[in-house]
Amino acid sequence: MELYRVTGESPAWQRIAYDYIRTDAFVVGQGIPVEREFDGDGPAEELEAVLLVEDHKPVAGLRIVYPRGEFAQIQRVATVREKQRGGYGSILMKEAENWIAEKGFQRILITSQDRSVGFYEANGYRRLPQEALDQYFPEDAERRRRREEERKKNPDAFPKLGFSIILVEKVLEV
């Protein structure tokens, strides 16, 4: 098993492998529309991701961003469907936390599907009240509001995906 810290300067195969994992887990596995899965990605040169490869095959990955430089945010934690529940996500989280700590950040926030809360709690995260989601990510609150308005006008444009978004937090000991 190999772990890679992927940046915009990493070999293209590492970035493509991470996108493959997301496509398998979220688009194919959960039915999230492909354009919706990738529409929030920042510029490629700003990418920071952790990639786990086993037997030369991409298995799991996640992305790290630093909103407004105030905290680290782990995003799009994913494992390919055939390897889910194999402990790979916890390995990714530990590597991401190490990288984040090396950069001098202590606070990590994660927005996730509500059905994943047990995974994050098992990795030392605590769920924050729903109001905190809008407090820390006001731009996302506005996007959710616009999607709800669009959904009312055209239900097929933004289908309901069957989960709610939650916010979890961990403060690293430095």
Measured distance between the N- and C-terminal CA atoms of the chain, rounded to whole angstroms? 27
Topology at the third CATH level for domain 2-171: Aminopeptidase (3.40.630)
The whole-number pLDDT of residue 157 equals: 62
Q: Reduced to 3 states, what is the DSSP secondary structure of residue 55?
A: coil
**33-79, pLDDT tens digit by residue?**
898 888 878 888 889 999 999 999 999 999 999 988 889 999 999 99
Under 8 Å between Cβ of 50 and 6: yes
Q: What percent of the chain has pLDDT over 70?
A: 94
Q: Distance (Å, rounded) from C-alpha 10 to C-alpha 104?
A: 22
> Average pLDDT, whole number, for the chain?
89
pLDDT band at 89 (very low <50, low <70, confident <90, very high): very high
* Mean pLDDT computed over 79-97: 96
DSSP one-letter code for 26 = I
The whole-number pLDDT of residue 159 equals: 59
The whole-number pLDDT of residue 164 equals: 75
* Mean pLDDT computed over 128-153: 78
The whole-number pLDDT of residue 127 equals: 93
| Cα 157 off chain centre by | 23
